[in-house]
Amino acid sequence: MLPAAVGVAQAQSAKRPNFLVIVTDDQGVGDVGCFGHPEVRTPNFDRLAASGVRFANWYANAPVCSASRAAILTGKYPDRTGVRGALPSQPSWDVPGLRAGETTLPGLMKGLGYRTAAFGKWHLGSAEASRPRRQGFDEFFGWYSGWLDAFSHRYYQLGSPPGKIFHDLWRNETEVFEEPAYMTELLGREAQSYLAKQTAGQPFFMYVAFGAPHYSMMAPKKYLERFPAGMERDRRMHLAMVAAVDEVVGALLDQLKAQGMEENTVVFYQADNGATREVRASSDGKPYHGGSNEPRRGYKLGLFDGGMHVPAILRAPGMVKPGVVWDRPLISMDLLPTFLAMADPGRKAPAGEAGIDGQNILPVLRAERREEAWLYWSHEKQRAVRQGDWKLIVNPPQFPGEEVPDRIWLSNLEADPREQKNVADQEAARVKAMLERLQAWERDVKLTP
């Protein structure tokens, strides 16, 4: 555990802070320069880390997008929200996701007098009750589907018949056509334009959810040229897409500074899950290897750490000390109670917030209390639980060429951060206790009767 290196830098301003939340798609810890990967070009993520806290053990609540994003916006285990796995994409615009009346971070912020806006990938339901403006956002610019072609802004399904293709770009409830604008840059334009309209006297909450570096794997030539022509093809494209996102992040940080809002805006960034191995992302018809979760084992869709151990950074001027690396496990459902504590320190939770699973992590970051949480994950038939340095997986993921014969896998992540050695046989009592806790959690979130 770090000493009291993270703490109050100065007394919090009486003025309520603004919030800028940035989420990327399928980006591993090996896809950000400040996480120790020099081939990556992310100067703006790196400067954000230098001015804030870089989390070396931040977890998404799921190894796949919809469930992960549900946890960010509700403060709950995704299983409790009913959003499990990845929601389907349909041109009928009737896919159920977040429920009507769900307690959400933007909705709570709106109740505190904040303006709220969402940009980019939604993927939390296209049915009317699940859409952004019914879930607490005043404004929305983006798409409902799991991904889009980066230039035509169309979702398409290839492979099994009958297939489908449809346009999916909206401003609030009005369809808009912006092709051939590159999607990452288009989101940057819209988010920066919104930011430029904000004033010091009116706090805002912005959620900017990129579709990159998720497939479709596309980037303009100017980003590709930042990387050696001899670099492996998929890796070069992947890093070019990350570089485009990084450039938009830099523009947003610069806009905050130009408007004099830098010191009163909390900026948080994380990926929704780790880099993928899906064949549909690759250029050669083989399992994708453009993204990197190194040094973690595993990928998106799996519960080894590479699936949900993601890059994350928090800058909160006056509330947490800058330039610190936090090395103990925290999880994205903690954002909702933490941001509410930042926005209104004296606030007491009203009746509608029952069932929030996340915890306010400010006292942890200030070394006022220890991190001692039990953390749980589910994905299809996989289950995982972590307590302290110990992590147990039930039905470990099976990736091509990396099959795992064991049904139960136990690792000590302090001694074995790559989860290479299964010590379940040597820790029978610990396995039994962790399985009992996991089964109790499954009952609590209604995964089992």
Of 398, 355, 391, the closest CA to residue 374 belongs to 391
Torsion angle, alpha carbons of 383, 386, 387, 389, to 10: 140
Question: What's the confidence (pLDDT) of residue 369?
Answer: 73
The reported pLDDT for the residue numbered 157 is 84
Note whether 266 and 19 are within 8 A (CB). yes
Checking if the pLDDT of 3 tops 90, the result is: no
CB 240 within 8 A of CB 223: yes
Please count the residues of the chain. 449
Cβ partners under 8 Å of residue 31, min gap 6: 37, 40, 213, 238, 239, 242, 271, 275, 291, 292, 311
C-alpha to C-alpha distance for 61 and 378, rounded to whole angstroms: 9
The number of C-alpha atoms within 13 Å of 141 and in the hemisphere containing its C-beta is 18
- State the pLDDT at residue 354: 63
Radius of gyration of the chain (CA): 21
- Model confidence at 8: pLDDT above 80: no
Mean pLDDT of the region 295-315: 98
Asked if residue 13 has pLDDT above 60, the reply is no
Interatomic CA distance for residues 1 and 57, integer angstroms? 12
pLDDT in tens, 93-116: 999 999 999 999 999 999 999 999
- Average pLDDT value for the chain: 93
pLDDT value at residue 372: 73
- Residue 374 is predicted with a pLDDT of 94
Domains of the chain: 18-365 (3.40.720.10), 381-444 (3.30.1120.10)
Q: Can you give the pLDDT at residue 368?
A: 79
In the chain, % of residues over pLDDT 90: 88
Query: Residues of the chain with pLDDT > 70: what percent?
Result: 94
Task: Express each pLDDT in 186-221 by its tens digit.
Answer: 999 999 999 999 999 899 999 999 999 999 999 999
Quick one: which H or E segment has residue 174?
A: strand 174-175
Query: What's the rounded mean pLDDT across residues 397-421?
Result: 96
State yes or no: pLDDT of 1 exceeds 80. no
Q: List pLDDT tens digits, range 320-362.
A: 989 999 999 999 999 999 999 999 988 766 544 668 999 999 9
Per-residue pLDDT, 355:
82
